[in-house]
Chains A and B, each alone.
Chain A
Amino acid sequence: MLPPETFRITPDQAMREMQDFGARLTRGLQTLGDLGEIDVGATAKDVVYREGKMVLYRFRPLARELRRVPVMITYALVNRPYMIDLQEDRSLVRGMLKGGLDVYLIDWGYPDGGDRFLSLDDYINGYMDRCVDVIRRRHALDKINLLGICQGGTFSLCYAALHPEKVRNLITTVTPVDFHTPDNLLSRWVRHLDVDLLVDTLGNIPGELLNWTYLSLKPFRLTGQKYLDMVDQLESPAKAKSFVRMEKWIFDSPDQAGEAFRQFTKDFYQRNALIKGEVSIGGHPVDLTRVAMPVLNIYAADDHLVPPAASRVLGDYVGTDDYTALEFPGGHIGLYVSGKSQATIPPAICRWLSER
């Protein structure tokens, strides 16, 4: 039974609320209409290496003294890497640069039909390995630091297992390791998919299809409520710009190279083969016990894409004695762009590296 006191809204009040909302919506839409072009990527960077559509950037240092061993950031194949340098006050990269790190970033670009047969071997033992070699040569070092983001974290983990002699420290962020935790909706959804049929039919997997899949994890919030929440903030052009930048990033989705998608989905999502020691990249088995370098594993407590349980187990599988886990109280994207993360994540990374 619904108690009569459940609603304490008078019709007059509801009317005023609607009127007020209509006025704010009107003014907010006007602000949006006036914003003009939206820029992304706040920090200056230079191209140091390119191959096909892949580009390796080096960010221009912001500290007087640089640490000797640089960090190479590997981003996921989905969405674009400018999320970690969205704007000046929301930039993981900027925080790391200010902490004295020398930061490189792999940008995978936008695969087209000609990239359909790019495999995980091409990405990990090809592009990544050659980028690592370029950085090693530039700095005359045997080993460098790796930082992987989401799927890029899984790539970095595989790379560290395959080429441990080139990795000094490994940092994984919101990285899926166990793909079959009960709360992993993505893995549940793809379990009945005939991935071979999908890739053989479509070739590359359209970015829009993946985008829809991610939004459909929490459709009411991600396609509805958040826009209403923003109406309250749209009267400020600066806040409106931040919002639109995030929107631009969310819907900037490259297509996925078919062969890489096939292997990643079948081996990792469907078979959960990484933690079983059954993944093989280019004919080389990925043995996580070979990850013997120091590992920092950062995950987000409220991550709806990569549930924390999927990342948290990393310590059980790697072969290092120096394993650190850091739980961030936020979501998958919030770990990089929220105000809270700016004050905690880059300093934690810098501190952890400086101790090693």
Chain B
Amino acid sequence: MLRCNIPPANFSPGAGHADRTARAPAAPFHRGDRLVSDDSTSPFSTNPWLEAQRQYLDAWGAMWRAAAPSAAPAPTSPADSAGQTWSDSVTAWWRSLIAPSAPPPMQTVLAAVLAQGQAYLQMGETFMRLLQRMGRPEAAAERWQEQVAAYFGDLKAGFSNGSHGAAPLRSLMAFWELPLDTWRRTVSSSAATPGDFLAGLKPQGASDFTDDLHERLGRFLSVPALGYTREWQERGQQLLRLGLEYQRAFQDYAEVVSKLGVDAIDVFQRRLVERGDAGTPITTLREAFDLWVDAGEEAYAKLVSTDEYAEVYGTLVNRLMALKQQGRRMVDEAAGGFGLPTARDLSAVQRRQQELNREVAALRQELAALRTRRTWSQTPAPSAGGAEE
């Protein structure tokens, strides 16, 4: 078991660190406008942290050097008791210590830098595993090819089925979670069900189940509405129908986007071969990262410039808007029934207000022109539509 002085991922000053908190100031994070982190005696100093990072990586390096190059399985980055890796810990430590004390506008930047820093470090850890699997530089070419093929095979499999194996590279593509997540949040505010209740399903293989579900629900929703409340019931059925249509559009979109990971790996491999053939090898981790970014952009650009993508994207937005609009209509109807102002009422007022603004601006302009004409040579002109200062 590897031991080092890395702070635990859930480390927070003043919580369970008696020897540290004893020396900690009562208001720990700021002294005036300065963050108290450059003082080596402070529990928030970065120096012990940097030293901990060094020790940790040294220990990890010693561990993989000790492993036999060909037979032993590659050591992975040691994890703490919570199963977190070194890069996870770096991020968690900074989140707990620095991020909360930064001014609010800086939080977004810190979060972005941290997320990418973590992604980069995770990629470094993945590469370390690859280098270890390939053995020493003097290993035979056949073994190299075998190991590289296995490595990329694992990554592709991870992207295809969402397994944990692809997590490091997947984290570099976290952006792809963003549009789907945004849609889920948007839907939450308008649909009867919280969030996207089918979103957890993986695109591949999910369609059999969801098609069947949609068909059954479709049959149920086509039952004619009866009785005193039939109009309300019909609107409810329409809302659910639109919800199902949106679900289909969401799955189509997710399926198109899900190809991206595998495509990016293919481009990455091709670019690596090109570099090898051209005699310009990858000499740093950062070069490998930049090549991965280029590969991602290339695969992405190819995908999103297709008519297929434009169509599934347009359909997704249109279906979501149709769903939201139907939900709003029903809310409006209910609010109107209680004598409350509705969105439709507000919209009518806003439209009328804009018409009045135009009329007022035109009248002011006409008045200003008349005044200017009368006093052109004597005095400066007054304001037109608004207020000159």
Do B132 and A51 touch (CB < 8 A)? Answer: no
What sequence of 0s and 1s flags, for each residue 219-255 of chain A, a beta carbon within 8 Å of any chain B beta carbon? 1110111011011001000000001100110010000
Q: Smallest CB–CB gap between A81 and chain B, Å? A: 18
Q: How far is the CA of A71 from the CA of B172 in the complex (A)?
A: 45
Complex interface: chain B residues within 8 A of A248 (CB): 105
Complex interface: chain B residues within 8 A of A30 (CB): 35, 37-38, 46, 98
B137, B293, B353, B365: the one contacting A10 at CB < 8 Å is: B137
Do A38 and B384 touch (CB < 8 A)? Answer: no
Binds A, one of B204-212, B218-226, B305-313: B305-313
14 A-B contacts (beta carbon < 8 Å)? A2-B145, A3-B276, A11-B61, A11-B131, A13-B284, A18-B285, A116-B354, A122-B354, A122-B358, A137-B380, A191-B310, A192-B314, A198-B321, A247-B108
Do A22 and B318 touch (CB < 8 A)? Answer: no
By secondary structure, the A interface counts as helix
Do B53 and A23 touch (CB < 8 A)? Answer: yes
Complex interface: chain B residues within 8 A of A126 (CB): 358, 361, 385
Binds B, one of A199-207, A273-281, A283-291: A199-207
Q: Smallest CB–CB gap between B40 and chain A, Å? A: 13
A27, A29, A194: the one contacting B318 at CB < 8 Å is: A194
Q: Smallest CB–CB gap between B311 and chain A, Å? A: 5
A17, A25, A35: the one contacting B117 at CB < 8 Å is: A25
B98, B117, B182, B281: the one contacting A33 at CB < 8 Å is: B98
A5, A15, A251: the one contacting B128 at CB < 8 Å is: A15
Question: Does A19 sit within 8 A of B, measured CB to CB?
Answer: yes
Do A244 and B109 touch (CB < 8 A)? Answer: yes
Chain B, residue nearest A8 (CB): B281
Q: Smallest CB–CB gap between B225 and chain A, Å? A: 25
Q: How far is the CA of A6 from the CA of B270 in the complex (A)?
A: 12
Do A197 and B321 touch (CB < 8 A)? Answer: yes
Chain B residues 130-180 with CB under 8 Å of chain A are: 131-132, 137, 141, 144-145, 148, 172-173, 175-176, 178-179
Do A2 and B103 touch (CB < 8 A)? Answer: no
B99, B127, B361: the one contacting A51 at CB < 8 Å is: B361
Count of B interface residues, CB-CB < 8 Å: 109
Q: Smallest CB–CB gap between A10 and chain B, Å? A: 7
A1, A9, A13, A32: the one contacting B102 at CB < 8 Å is: A32
B289, B353, B388: the one contacting A228 at CB < 8 Å is: B289
Question: Does B11 sit within 8 A of A, measured CB to CB?
Answer: no
B127, B272, B383: the one contacting A9 at CB < 8 Å is: B127
Question: Does A185 sit within 8 A of B, measured CB to CB?
Answer: yes
Q: How far is the CA of A107 from the CA of B383 in the complex (A)?
A: 18
Do A247 and B121 touch (CB < 8 A)? Answer: no
Chain B residues 33-54 with CB under 8 Å of chain A are: 33-35, 37-38, 46, 49-50, 53-54
What sequence of 0s and 1s flags, for each residue 104-117 of chain B, a beta carbon within 8 Å of any chain A beta carbon? 01101110111111
Question: Does B375 sit within 8 A of A, measured CB to CB?
Answer: no
Complex interface: chain A residues within 8 A of B64 (CB): 11
Q: Smallest CB–CB gap between A14 and chain B, Å? A: 5
Q: Which residues of B contact A (CB under 8 A)?
A: 33-35, 37-38, 46, 49-50, 53-54, 57, 60-61, 64-65, 90, 94, 98-99, 101-103, 105-106, 108-110, 112-117, 119-121, 124-125, 127-128, 131-132, 137, 141, 144-145, 148, 172-173, 175-176, 178-179, 182, 269, 272-273, 275-277, 279, 281-286, 288-290, 293, 296-297, 300, 304-305, 310-311, 313-315, 317-318, 321-322, 324-325, 328, 346-347, 350-351, 353-355, 357-358, 361, 365, 372, 380-381, 383-389
Chain A residues 172-223 with CB under 8 Å of chain B are: 185, 188-194, 197-198, 200-203, 212, 216, 218-221, 223
Question: Does A355 sit within 8 A of B, measured CB to CB?
Answer: no
B90, B131, B178, B281: the one contacting A14 at CB < 8 Å is: B131
Complex interface: chain B residues within 8 A of A48 (CB): 388-389
Q: How far is the CA of A210 from the CA of B290 in the complex (A)?
A: 27
Q: How far is the CA of A197 from the CA of B320 in the complex (A)?
A: 10
Taking A17-B286, A30-B35 as contacts, is the C-beta distance between A52 and B50 under 8 angstroms?
A: no
Complex interface: chain B residues within 8 A of A193 (CB): 314, 317-318
Q: Smallest CB–CB gap between B387 and chain A, Å? A: 6
Do A33 and B384 touch (CB < 8 A)? Answer: no
Complex interface: chain A residues within 8 A of B148 (CB): 2
Do B109 and A247 touch (CB < 8 A)? Answer: yes
Complex interface: chain B residues within 8 A of A54 (CB): 386
Do A21 and B113 touch (CB < 8 A)? Answer: no
